[in-house]
A and B are shown apart, each in its own frame.
Chain A
Amino acid sequence: MLSLNWHRALSLFLLIAPHALLGVLAVILYKRRLYREFPCFFVYVLYEIAKFFPLFALYSVQGVSGKEYAYAYCVTLLISIVLRFGVIDEISRNLFRESQFLRVAARRSLQCVTGLLLGAGALLAVYAPGGNSAKWYAGIFVVNRGAAMVQSGLLLALLLFSRFLGLSWRRSAFGIALGLAVLTSLDLAMFALRAAFTSEAAANFLDLLITGTYLVCVSIWIGYLLAPELEVASPTVVAHDEVETWNRELQQFLKQ
């Protein structure tokens, strides 16, 4: 029997709500046929839903020890990390698919960014390996902290690079990237604190923040996937005379 106090109730809400919303998200992805465009993201969403059931069962059942739950949590977390890298790759492919030039130039730049971030993550793991906890799963938090740093750095680079170049995002791709970037940025902060503060009270508080963040990110994904594409001002709305005027000016400009 679960003893319900406010902390327990909030924990339960923050555990269940994002996964219920992930179910809604999976339906949206299926109904709008977005799974064809973002298969890896669709698999990630399905995986996050699927992993919730055994984890929730382990969390709720009285006989399961904290160590057993932590083991299961860490295994599922590592698979999530791998899938997130797949989603980032998928987003970048989607973004650069219409430009031959960018497919080469931008992806090369992103590979350099990945290399730098991986180097920084490895250095961080060596020189700041977390608190003095001897628990094995503290190491997993350090791995997740490093992965979150690489992932948020990559997504930020992708968003800044596209903004800098004037690349237009499709609303769905932008939403997925934004939600994942928020998730990984906050994961970075939370798991950095989780690796440094190992007391039970701190761990409980940070766990609430991590699940709360997840709820926000799933809401971002749903919001962007449901929102209609923005109609932007078309080049053809410029009056004929006006176009001719600047055509003449540009011609003169080129002859200068």
Chain B
Amino acid sequence: MEQGASTISQAMISQAMIAAWILVALAFFALGILVYIAIRSRTRQVDLEKAVQAFRSLDIEAFRNLVDSGEEAFLRNNLSPKKFRAIKRQRAWAALIYAREAGRAAAALAKIGQAAQQSSDPEIAASGITVTENAFRLRLQTIGACLHLLTEVVLPDLRSPSLPRLVDQYERAAETLFRLGRFSSRVQGSVRPKSA
């Protein structure tokens, strides 16, 4: 009886030890991420060119084609199941890379928008708000799209709806970036952004 109680007690202690060391590992992992974020935040800069290049590099029509449900139906009807699965995986993977890049461009765009919000010119500041809001929406939608596309890579037979909202959001963001560029070309040096 006493031996049994002692075994249970020892098991509880070892359980507590395992939990303690797991928590220590988690805490140091979190600390590593914090140090990384702190270092990166010191070198981070709003880079308009980078955002523009990111937008330039994306072919919206190619993306639209990759996620088009009509195209998918055509391929499903005309290819063998095995071939269709292989092609679908490749298309979903390519679309996933597009969505990821659109997300990165959106994050850069959000930074530009926030910098523009500090402008003394009300037109630039207002445009900055629109850019930022659109960029945030686009960024969050790309997460959903990436998860959606990742599911298609893993389960190519799954029938899924198209992603028109993401494409529309991307176009809205691109349009507001264009507007911001037009405003900023008029006023030199009026924006004094401040961020960490």
Whether, in the assembled complex, A159 has its beta carbon less than 8 Å from a beta carbon of chain B, the answer is yes
Q: Is the CB of B106 within 8 A of A166?
A: yes
Residues of A within 8 A of B21 (CB): 192
Interface residues of A (CB under 8 A from B): 98-102, 105, 124, 127-132, 145, 149, 152-153, 156, 159-160, 163-171, 173-175, 178, 181-182, 185-186, 188-189, 192-193, 195-197, 224, 229-238, 240, 242-244, 246-247, 249-251, 253-254, 256
Q: How far is the CA of A105 from the CA of B31 in the complex (A)?
A: 26
Residues of B within 8 A of A166 (CB): 106-111, 114, 135, 139
Q: How far is the CA of A237 from the CA of B116 in the complex (A)?
A: 12
Interface residues of B (CB under 8 A from A): 9, 12-13, 15-21, 23-24, 26-28, 30-31, 33-34, 37-38, 40-42, 44-49, 52, 55-56, 59-61, 106-112, 114-117, 129, 132-133, 135-137, 139-140, 171, 174-175, 177-178, 180-182, 184-185, 187-196
Q: Is the CB of A234 within 8 A of B49?
A: no
Residues of B within 8 A of A256 (CB): 59-61
Q: Is the CB of A128 within 8 A of B140?
A: no
Q: Is the CB of A233 within 8 A of B45?
A: yes
**Which residue of A164, A168, A236, A246 contacts B196 across the interface (Cβ within 8 Å)?**
A168
**Which residue of A132, A169, A181, A250 contacts B12 across the interface (Cβ within 8 Å)?**
A132
Closest 6 CB pairs of A and B: A128-B19, A168-B195, A166-B107, A166-B110, A189-B27, A196-B20
Residues of A within 8 A of B61 (CB): 256
Smallest beta-carbon distance A246→chain B, Å = 5
Residues of B within 8 A of A156 (CB): 30, 33-34
Smallest beta-carbon distance A113→chain B, Å = 13
Q: Is the CB of B193 within 8 A of A128?
A: no
**Which residue of B17, B133, B136, B195 contacts A196 across the interface (Cβ within 8 Å)?**
B17
Q: How far is the CA of A254 from the CA of B196 in the complex (A)?
A: 33
Residue of B nearest to A247 (CB): B181
Given A100-B133, A127-B19: A168 touches B178 (CB 8 Å cut-off): no
Q: How far is the CA of A192 from the CA of B16 in the complex (A)?
A: 9
Residues of B within 8 A of A99 (CB): 132-133, 136
| 15 cross-chain CB contacts under 8 A | A99-B136, A101-B136, A130-B16, A153-B30, A163-B40, A166-B107, A166-B114, A167-B110, A188-B23, A232-B194, A234-B192, A240-B185, A243-B184, A251-B178, A254-B178
Q: Is the CB of B184 within 8 A of A236?
A: yes
Residues of A within 8 A of B47 (CB): 233
Q: Is the CB of B193 within 8 A of A196?
A: no
Q: Is the CB of A244 within 8 A of B109?
A: no
Q: Is the CB of A238 within 8 A of B184?
A: yes
Given A165-B139, A166-B107: A192 touches B178 (CB 8 Å cut-off): no
Q: Is the CB of B133 within 8 A of A192?
A: no
Residues of A within 8 A of B132 (CB): 98-99
Residues of A within 8 A of B15 (CB): 127-128
Residues of A within 8 A of B42 (CB): 230
